[in-house]
C-alpha cells in the first residue's frame, strides 16, 4: 500500500484536537503532527443549550489553524467529527454551516455510541485486553462513556452526561470546592452509575481510560511519585492512587491547582469533576486496576479510515460487535517495526535475542506472571539493543536508550519502556551506576531488574562478538558458585568466548557465579 497522509479532527466540548498521520497499511500509521487547543465550545451550554458566539469564534479559529496545517502536510483526506456540545446545541446547524462555508470543512456529528466506539477502537489498537473482562471509560467535556466487554467483544455501551465541563458548571462553584458541593457531585455521579450496576453489569479486571481527565490524573500521580517516565500512555494505577490524587486536588484552590506539576493550567478548573467520575466508577464497579491511554477518538477515526470501515453514525453500529481485527495489541510486532524503522542489524539482534531467552529460561524456569513479564522486557531490549546505530556507532548504546525511551512501543507501560531502554543502554561499556540520571530515576526494584537483565544481555551479546551467529545453542548447569556454559557450535568460537569474557563481569557480580565456558561440537 502506498503511504497516504490522513488527518482527523475531534471537536469536543472542552477542546479540539487534530492528528495527521502517514498510513502505510491497515492498523499501521506514523504520527506526523498532533495539535490540541482548549476552546471550551460547550461553555455555558447547561443553561441555554446553545453554543455561544464567543465559543464558536474560538472553535473556528482553532479549526482554521488545524485545517491549514493538515493541508500543509499534504493530507489527502481530512475528517472532522463533533461530539457532545455540538450534538446537543440548538444552533448546531448554523455552526456547522459556518465551518463548511468559511473553512471548506464538512463536520460529521457523531452519536454518543459512535464516540464510545471510536475511543474503544483506539484502546484495542494499543492494549492487549486478552480474554479478560474489561471496562473502558472515555471522559470528555460534555459526556462520558462506559464500555463493557470481554476481550474484543463489546457487550454494552453506556453513554452518560458526566463530562468534566458539564459537571463543573452544574455543581462546583466555590473555591476551593466545598464538602457540600463535592457530596452533591458524588451523589449525582452515583445516581447514573448504580442503575448500570444494578441492571446486572458485572465488574471488570481492569479499567482502561482515555481522555484529558485520565491523562491528567496519571501525570499528577507520576509527579507525586517523582517518576520521570516519558508520557503516560499505558501508565498503570490502582484505586488508592486515584483517590490520593483526587484528595490532593480537593484541598487546593484553583490558583494552587493551576501551579501543580503535571496538570495543564487550562484543565485545573474541571479536573476535580473528571477525577471524581473516575474514582466513583472504580468504586461502584469494584475495579482496582487502571490503565491510561493517551489516544482516543482521533486515533479511532484514523483506524476506521485506513481500514475502510463504514461510519457508524448511520445506525449500523452493533454494540455486540466483535473488533478482533483491532484487538490484541501485538507488542512483538511493535518492537520489530520500531527496530526496522531504525534499520537494525536483524541477524545479529535476533540471534542475541534467542540466546538471551535461552539463558533466561534456564536460569529462571517459567512459573509466575512476574517471570513472564521480565522475560518479555528482556526480549524487547535484546532485539532493540543496537538501534542506536541508526544515529551513530559511537556511543550507540546511549543512542539506543534515547530512541527507545521516546518510542511508543505498543503493549508496554512508561515504566516498562524505561526498563527496556535502560537494559539496552547497558549492553556495553560502563555498567549501571546511580550517578547516571536514567538509572537513578528508576525505583530500587526496577534498578535490580535492570542489573539482572542487562547482565544477561551483555553476556550473550559477547557470544556473538563476530556478528556471524556461530553459536547454535547454549545450555547451562549451576555448580554451587559456578555456572558451566555449554556453547554448541560446529565452528571456531574462540572470538565469541573472548567476547563473552570481556562482558561477563556484571553477570558474575549480579548472579554471584563464575562462568566456565565449554565449546561442544554438535553430534553428527
Buried b (16+ CB within 10 A) or exposed e, 42-76: bbebbeeebbbeebbebbbebbeebbebbeeeebe
CA distance 507 to 492: 24
What are 458-488's pLDDT values in tens digits?
Answer: 999 999 999 999 999 999 999 889 999 999 9
| Closest alpha carbon to 80 in 308, 301, 296 | 301
Q: How far apart are CA 308 and CA 42, in angstroms?
A: 31
- What is the rounded distance in angstroms from the CA atom of residue 44 to the CA atom of residue 53? 11
pLDDT (mean) for 105-120: 90
In the beta sheet, which residues pair with residue 343?
none
Q: Is the pLDDT of residue 315 over 70?
A: no
Name the DSSP letter for residue 49. Answer: S
In this predicted model, what pLDDT tens digit does every residue of 421-446 receive, in sequence order? 999 999 999 999 999 999 999 999 99
pLDDT digits (tens, 9 = 90+) for 22-43: 987 666 788 999 999 999 998 8
For residue 267, give the DSSP letter.
G
Give me 274's grid cell: 473528571
Domains, the chain, in order of start with CATH, read 4-109 (3.30.420.40), 113-326 (3.30.420.150), 331-520 (1.10.3210.10)
Minimum mean pLDDT range among 9-23, 52-66, 115-129, 221-235 = 115-129
CA–CA separation, 122 and 143 (whole Å): 18
Q: Which of 111-120, 158-167, 313-322 has the lowest mean pLDDT?
A: 313-322
Cell digits for 97? 454551516
- Backbone dihedral angles phi then psi of residue 255, each to the nearest 5 degrees: -60, -40
Question: What pLDDT sits at residue 150?
Answer: 79
**Contact predicate 282/186, CB 8 Å:** no
Coil, strand or helix at 128: coil
CA distance linking residue 424 with residue 94, whole number of Å: 56
State the pLDDT confidence band at 314, using cuts at 50, 70 and 90: very low
* Pairwise CA distance, residues 366 & 210, whole Å: 34
Give me the residue label for grid cell 487547543: 37
Whole-number Å distance between alpha carbons of 277 and 140: 11
Per residue, the 3-state secondary structure of 204-236, as one string, reads CCEEEEECHHHHHHHHHHHHHCCCCCCCCCCCE
Mean pLDDT (whole number) for 271-299: 95
Residue 66 · residue 103 · CB < 8 Å = no
Cell of 415: 515504566
Stretch (H or E) spanning 123? helix 112-126
Question: Is residue 293 within a helix (H) or strand (E), and if so which, with residue range?
Answer: strand 289-293
Laid out side by side, the sheet with 473-479 consists of 473-479, 482-488, 514-520
What is the layout of strands, in order, in the sheet containing 206-210? 153-160, 144-150, 133-139, 206-210, 289-293, 236-238
Of the listed ranges 251-255, 314-318, 320-324, 391-395, the least confidently predicted one is 314-318
pTM > 0.85: yes or no: no
pLDDT over threshold 70, residue 1: no
Report CA-CA distances (Å) from 49 to 112, 114, 142: 17, 22, 12
Give residue 5's Cα distance to chain centre.
23
Query: Taking the CB of residue 197, how many other CB atoms lie within 10 A of it?
Result: 14
Write the pLDDT tens digit of every residue in 162-198. Answer: 999 999 999 999 999 999 999 999 999 999 999 999 8
Quick: pLDDT tens for 193-239. Answer: 999 998 877 668 899 999 999 999 999 999 999 998 888 999 999 99
C-beta separation of 338 from 409 below 8 A: yes
pLDDT category at 316 given cuts 50, 70, 90 is very low
Q: How far apart are CA 199 and CA 432, in angstroms?
A: 54
Q: Does residue 448 surpass a pLDDT of 80?
A: yes
Instruction: Tell me which DSSP letter residue 310 carries.
Output: P
- Greater confidence, 69 or 4? 69
Q: Is the pLDDT of residue 153 over 80?
A: no
Higher pLDDT, residue 129 or 119: 119
Residue 375's Cβ-count burial label (10 Å; 0-12, 13-18, 19+) is middle
**Category of 512 on φ-ψ map: left (φ > 0), alpha (ψ -120 to 50) or beta:** left
Share of the chain above pLDDT 70, in %: 93
Contacts of residue 274, Cβ cutoff 8 Å, sequence gap at least 6: 139, 164, 167, 211, 212, 213, 216, 217
Cell 504520527 found at: 31
Helix (H/G/I), strand (E/B), else coil: 171? helix
Amino acid at each position: 500500500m502506498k503511504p497516504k497522509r490522513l488527518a482527523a479532527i475531534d471537536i469536543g466540548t472542552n477542546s479540539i484536537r487534530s492528528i495527521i498521520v502517514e498510513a502505510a497499511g491497515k492498523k499501521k500509521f506514523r504520527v506526523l503532527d498532533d495539535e490540541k487547543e482548549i476552546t471550551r465550545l460547550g461553555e455555558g451550554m447547561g443553561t441555554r443549550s446553545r453554543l455561544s458566539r464567543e465559543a464558536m469564534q474560538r472553535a473556528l479559529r482553532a479549526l482554521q489553524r488545524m485545517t491549514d496545517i493538515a493541508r500543509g502536510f499534504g493530507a489527502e483526506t481530512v475528517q472532522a467529527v463533533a461530539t457532545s456540545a455540538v450534538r446537543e446545541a440548538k444552533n448546531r446547524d448554523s455552526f456547522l454551516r459556518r465551518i463548511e462555508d468559511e473553512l471548506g470543512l464538512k463536520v460529521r456529528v457523531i452519536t454518543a455510541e459512535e464516540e464510545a466506539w471510536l475511543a474503544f477502537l483506539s484502546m484495542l489498537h494499543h492494549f492487549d485486553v486478552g480474554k479478560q473482562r474489561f471496562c473502558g471509560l472515555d471522559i470528555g467535556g460534555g459526556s462520558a462513556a462506559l464500555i463493557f466487554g470481554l476481550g474484543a467483544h463489546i457487550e454494552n455501551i453506556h453513554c452518560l452526561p458526566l463530562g468534566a465541563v458539564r459537571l463543573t458548571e452544574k455543581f462546583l462553584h466555590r473555591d476551593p470546592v466545598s464538602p457540600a458541593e463535592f457530596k452533591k457531585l458524588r451523589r449525582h455521579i452515583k445516581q447514573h452509575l448504580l442503575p448500570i450496576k444494578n441492571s446486572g453489569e458485572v465488574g471488570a479486571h481492569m479499567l482502561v481510560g482515555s481522555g484529558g481527565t485520565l491523562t491528567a490524573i496519571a501525570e499528577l500521580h507520576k509527579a507525586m511519585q517523582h517518576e520521570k517516565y516519558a508520557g503516560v500512555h499505558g501508565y498503570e494505577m490502582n484505586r488508592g492512587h486515584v483517590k490520593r490524587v483526587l484528595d490532593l486536588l480537593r484541598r487546593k484552590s484553583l490558583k494552587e491547582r493551576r501551579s501543580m506539576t503535571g496538570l495543564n493550567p487550562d484543565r485545573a478548573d474541571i479536573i476535580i469533576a473528571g477525577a471524581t467520575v473516575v474514582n466513583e466508577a472504580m468504586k461502584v464497579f469494584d475495579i482496582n486496576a487502571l490503565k491510561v491511554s493517551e489516544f482516543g477518538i482521533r486515533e479511532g477515526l484514523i483506524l476506521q479510515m485506513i481500514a475502510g470501515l463504514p461510519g457508524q453514525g448511520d445506525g449500523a453500529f452493533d454494540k455486540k460487535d466483535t473488533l478482533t481485527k483491532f484487538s490484541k495489541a501485538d507488542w512483538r510486532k511493535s518492537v520489530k517495526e520500531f527496530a526496522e524503522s531504525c534499520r537494525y542489524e536483524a541477524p545479529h539482534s535476533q540471534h542475541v535475542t534467542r540466546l538471551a531467552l535461552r539463558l533466561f529460561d534456564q536460569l529462571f524456569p517459567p512459573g509466575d506472571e512476574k517471570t513472564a513479564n521480565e522475560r518479555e522486557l528482556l526480549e524487547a531490549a535484546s532485539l532493540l539493543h543496537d538501534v542506536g546505530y541508526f544515529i551513530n556507532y559511537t556511543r550507540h548504546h546511549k543512542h539506543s536508550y534515547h530512541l527507545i525511551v521516546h518510542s511508543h512501543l505498543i503493549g508496554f507501560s512508561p515504566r516498562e519502556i524505561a526498563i527496556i531502554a535502560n537494559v539496552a543502554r547497558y549492553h556495553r561499556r560502563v555498567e549501571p551506576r546511580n550517578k547516571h540520571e536514567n538509572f537513578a530515576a528508576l525505583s530500587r526494584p526496577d534498578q535490580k531488574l535492570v542489573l539482572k537483565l542487562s547482565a544477561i544481555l551483555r553476556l550473550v551479546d559477547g557470544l556473538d562478538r563476530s556478528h556471524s551467529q556461530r553459536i547454535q545453542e547454549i545450555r547451562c548447569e549451576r555448580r554451587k558458585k559456578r555456572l558451566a556454559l555449554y556453547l554448541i557450535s560446529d565452528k571456531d568460537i574462540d572470538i565469541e568466548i573472548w567476547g563473552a569474557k570481556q562482558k561477563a563481569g556484571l553477570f558474575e557480580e549480579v548472579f554471584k557465579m563464575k562462568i566456565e565456558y565449554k565449546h561442544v561440537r554438535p553430534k553428527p
